[in-house]
Structure 1
């Protein structure tokens, strides 16, 4: 108990309270410490799927923008005016910040946040971007009207953004449906490139770590 008390002091009672609450409803062998350790392993194992998903989806969106507006799409006035601009986290604000630092389009693509790419997958861009371009850049997405597919992609990106943010802030993810998170990641990658998804499936550890969850089988 002394070792756990030391851990609790180092990490804070507030941080461990979630794990203690969950452990109190589990079998005696499941402790707050074991849950915390598993949560860290799961977060680490998810970094590879998240990495590939974000790079693949932003490259697909950037390719669609280049098809519609040319390689200098970040400076296309018509496109910029269409971007959401209602908050400090808006796509237009994000683009203005990044284009203020560099004039290299690939560098801009690499530095734009995930919220920028998610905000592209909204209905305001159906006519100008996704109806003409979606099947060309996400050719393996389910066959449906582009607006239907675009809406599903927007929802999957939102799910992945939330997961990514929790991991980045070292928050608990053990009560999430991580199987559904991995399925969303798989759908997004497959829509762009089934070969990349197959590569991920051969090398990722997230599925194995998930199967070893201390909460497996809990009602």
Structure 2
């Protein structure tokens, strides 16, 4: 108990309170410490699929932008004017700031936040981006109207963005449906490249760590 008390002081009672609450609903062999340790392992294991998903999707979206607005699309005024500019949807500001600092499109693609790419998957871009070009760059997406596919991808990207943010801020994820998170990642990557999804599935550890969750079958 003394060792756990030391851990609790180092991490804070507030941080461990979530894990203590969940442990109180489990069998006695499930402790707050074991839940915290598993949560860290799960977060670490998820970074590989999240990383790959973000890179694949932003590259796909950048490919669409290059097709429709040319290789210098970050500096295309017509495209910039179509971006949302409100405080809650800051895609235009993010692009303008990136374009002021960078000299190449590839540098901008690498530095724009995930929320920028998610905001491209909104209905305002159906006619200019997704209806003309979705089948060319996301050719393995389910058979449906481009606007339907785009809407579903917007939801999946939002889910992964939320997961990514929780991991980045060291928040608990053990009550999430991580199986659904991995399924969303799989759908997004598959839409662009099934081969890349297969490569990920051969190398990722998240599925194995998820199968070892201390919560499986341990709730009272």
Same fold (TM over 0.5): yes
Q: Which runs of 5+ in 2 are unaligned?
A: none
Name 1:19's counterpart in structure 2.
19
Deviations 1:103-160 (CA, angstroms, capped at 9, x unpaired): 2100000000000000000000000000001010100000100000000000000000
Contact persistence 2:30–2:218 (CA under 8 A): no
TM-score (norm 1): 0.99
Rounded Cα–Cα distance in structure 2 between residues aligned with 1:103 and 1:135: 30
Name 2:164's counterpart in structure 1.
164
Contact persistence 2:56–2:192 (CA under 8 A): yes
Name 1:44's counterpart in structure 2.
44
CA RMSD in angstroms, aligned pairs only: 0.8
Deviations 1:67-100 (CA, angstroms, capped at 9, x unpaired): 0000000011111000010016511111011111
TM-score (norm 2): 0.98
Contact persistence 2:118–2:158 (CA under 8 A): yes
Q: How many residues align?
A: 219
Name 1:181's counterpart in structure 2.
181
Name 1:139's counterpart in structure 2.
139
Rounded Cα–Cα distance in structure 2 between residues aligned with 1:154 and 1:212: 30
Deviations 1:29-66 (CA, angstroms, capped at 9, x unpaired): 00000000000000000011011100000000000000
Q: Which runs of 5+ in 1 are unaligned?
A: none
